[in-house]
Structure formats: structure tokens, C-alpha cells
């Protein structure tokens, strides 16, 4: 691994390494072990999209590994405001040991990796959310004891989270089913590539407009906000279109009785899911949120250690 730009870049061995290291680092953190894996290392954290979990988990993760996190908002740097990504990548490569960037265009992340000489981590783009998917699958592994052969159902908007989950499930040999309304499905090329990889690992990828079909016999159920950052002007229309895709008790009854519920947060109760689902006994959303910290530490230690 040189970078983490999207999940599909990972080999099966790299994915399994990250899962194993996440488990190890989480256990050691709980046991109070102090790490110096990234002592003397600095991570630049570029945010052109605001965040709660991404900023806090990366800052704390770097500190727990003995390194230093440097927050850089869009108001702090010249990226995209006159200075080319080529120049920014070259300059920051002279100062930093790694960059995490949370932004809009995937091409900006790819170009930082292309022109810089230090590891680049995708903290989120409009197309991919690889760190989230790593935390998600680790959470499922914690609660189910395995990944291969399990079914993950994603209900809602075919967005960046859905893309990365499709890619991660394909690597892990899982069965991924996504249900989204017409016009809001996942990117066809991403799904095609994930489907091909799933055929090699014993998994599968199913795309449907029927939430019951997607959730049937699922071991894990996932949803996300219907209105992502930058889509606020579409809110009223989206709420009407997506309401039939709400994860509620009636829909959840089609999943396995012990199917865990995941949501990457922030969550909007009464919309993409009901309160009795996200706050119920099958919900693992706060384990999932915590695991962002540990999964990202595994990425940081692997790339910058």
C-alpha cells in the first residue's frame, strides 16, 4: 500500500491486513498500551467538507500513535484557489509525512497521490468513502465473527458510502445488495467492477429498486442520510422519493432476526430509519463510529509507519 484512495485499490491481503491490525490496535488501546509507531510523524488533514467523526477520529488516532495531526481547512490553504494541485502536492510533501483529505472531487485526491511523494488517504469524496467502509466491515466482523458469506443490505441513496461498501464486500467475499430509487442508483462502472471481483472471491453484488428484495435474509442492514452535503436544495424532493426506502420494523422483519443495523452518521431519525431501529438492540452504530478511529489507525500505521 502506498495510498488509500478507494477500496478497490486494495488487494485481498492488504484488506485482511488492515482488518487484523485494526483488531490489534483496538485491543491494545483498550488495554492502555501507549504507541510510538508514528513518533515524529505529521499528518496534514485537509478539509474542504466539514466533518465531526473524520476530524476527531484522525486527530485522536494520530495522537494515539504518537504522531501530530495538523488541521488545514479550505480557508487555510490555497488548494483550488489559484494554486495548482501539482504545486500543493509538491510543497506539502516537503513538510508532511502524509495527507488525509476530505473533499468533493475524487480527481483531487488522485492528483495529490499522482504529484506528491507522501501517502494520501481519502477521508471522503463525492464518489468514495474508503475509511468508513473499513470501519463498517470491521464492525460486522466484531459482531458476527466472520465476513465471508455474509449478506449486507444497503437501503437508500446509491452514494459514496454505497460505492465503498460494494467494493469492500467484494474483496471480503460477502454478498452485497443495494436498493435505491430509479435515478439514485450506484455508479454502473463501480458496480460492474465490484461484481467482477465478487465473482472471484465467492461474493456477489445485487442492484435492485425493491428494498424488500435487498434486505431479505440479510445479516447486516445499512442506510445513510438521503440528503448528503451539497444536496440541500434537493431536500424536499428527495424526502418524498426516498420515504418508501425508510428502514423501519416492517422492512427489517425481512432480514435475519439477528441482523445488525449500521449507519455512518449523522442520522436523521424519522427519515432514513425510525428511532426504534437506530436506538434498538440490533443497532451497532456507535461501535461503528468508534471503529473509525481504530480502522484509520491501522491505515495510518500501515502507510506512515
Distance between CA 45 and CA 281 in Å, rounded? Answer: 35
132 catalytic residue (yes or no): yes
Catalytic, out of 127, 224, 246, 294: 224
Q: What are the angstrom distances between the C-alpha of 165 and each of 2, 58, 87, 134, 270?
A: 21, 20, 33, 8, 24
- Phi and psi, residue 113, nearest 5°: -70, -35
Using CA atoms, how far apart are residues 54 and 69, in angstroms rounded to an integer?
12
Residues paired with residue 283 on neighbouring β-strands, in sequence order: 261
Upstream peptide bond of 266 is cis (omega within 30 degrees of 0): yes
Q: Is 197 known to be catalytic?
A: no
Active-site residue, selected from the candidate residues 3, 97, 127, 132: 132
List 128, 292, 294, 296, catalytic entry: 292
Taking the alpha carbons at both ends of the chain, their separation in whole angstroms is 12
Pick the catalytic residue from 131, 169, 186, 264.
264
The number of residues making up the chain comes to 305
- Closest alpha carbon to 226 in 238, 237, 214, 236: 238
CA distance 19 to 189: 26
Catalytic annotation present for 224? yes
> Do 148 and 172 contact (CB within 8 A), yes or no?
yes
Residue 64 is a catalytic residue: no
| 156: three-class secondary structure by DSSP | coil
Give CA–CA dist 111/113, Å, rounded.
5
Tell me whether residue 129 is one of the annotated catalytic residues: yes
Q: Which of 102, 128, 238, 294 is catalytic?
A: 102
80 conformational bin, left if phi > 0, alpha if psi -120 to 50, beta if neither: left
Active site (annotated) includes residue 292: yes
Q: State the catalytic residues.
A: 102, 129, 132, 224, 264, 292
Amino acid at each position: 500500500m502506498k495510498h488509500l484512495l478507494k477500496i478497490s485499490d486494495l488487494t485481498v491481503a492488504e484488506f485482511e491486513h488492515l482488518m487484523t491490525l485494526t483488531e490489534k490496535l483496538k485491543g491494545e488501546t483498550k488495554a492502555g498500551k501507549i504507541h510510538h509507531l508514528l513518533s515524529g510523524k505529521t499528518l496534514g488533514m485537509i478539509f474542504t467538507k466539514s466533518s465531526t467523526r473524520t476530524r476527531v477520529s484522525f486527530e485522536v488516532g494520530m495522537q494515539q500513535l504518537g504522531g501530530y495531526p495538523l488541521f488545514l481547512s479550505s480557508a487555510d490553504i490555497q488548494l483550488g484557489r489559484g494554486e495548482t494541485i501539482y504545486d500543493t502536492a509538491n510543497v506539502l510533501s516537503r513538510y508532511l509525512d502524509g495527507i488525509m483529505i476530505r473533499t468533493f472531487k475524487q480527481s483531487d485526491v488522485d492528483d495529490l497521490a499522482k504529484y506528491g511523494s507522501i501517502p494520501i488517504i481519502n477521508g471522503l469524496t463525492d464518489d468514495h468513502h474508503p475509511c468508513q467502509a473499513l470501519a463498517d466491515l470491521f464492525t460486522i466482523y466484531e459482531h458476527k465473527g466472520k465476513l465471508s458469506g455474509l449478506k449486507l443490505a444497503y437501503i437508500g441513496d446509491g452514494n459514496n458510502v454505497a460505492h465503498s461498501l460494494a467494493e469492500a464486500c467484494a474483496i471480503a467475499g460477502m454478498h452485497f445488495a443495494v436498493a435505491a430509487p430509479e435515478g439514485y442508483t450506484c455508479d454502473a462502472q463501480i458496480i460492474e467492477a465490484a461484481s467482477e471481483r465478487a465473482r472471484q472471491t465467492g461474493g456477489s453484488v445485487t442492484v435492485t429498486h425493491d428494498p424488500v428484495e435487498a434486505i431479505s435474509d440479510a445479516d447486516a442492514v445499512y442506510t445513510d442520510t438521503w440528503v448528503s452535503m451539497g444536496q440541500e436544495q434537493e431536500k424536499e424532493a428527495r424526502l418524498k422519493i426516498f420515504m418508501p426506502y425508510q428502514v423501519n420494523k416492517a422492512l427489517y422483519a425481512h432480514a435475519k432476526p439477528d441482523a445488525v443495523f449500521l449507519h455512518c452518521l449523522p442520522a436523521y431519525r424519522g427519515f432514513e430509519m425510525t428511532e426504534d431501529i437506530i436506538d434498538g438492540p440490533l443497532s451497532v452504530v456507535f461501535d461503528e463510529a468508534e471503529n473509525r478511529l481504530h480502522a484509520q489507525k491501522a491505515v495510518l500505521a500501515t502507510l506512515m509507519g
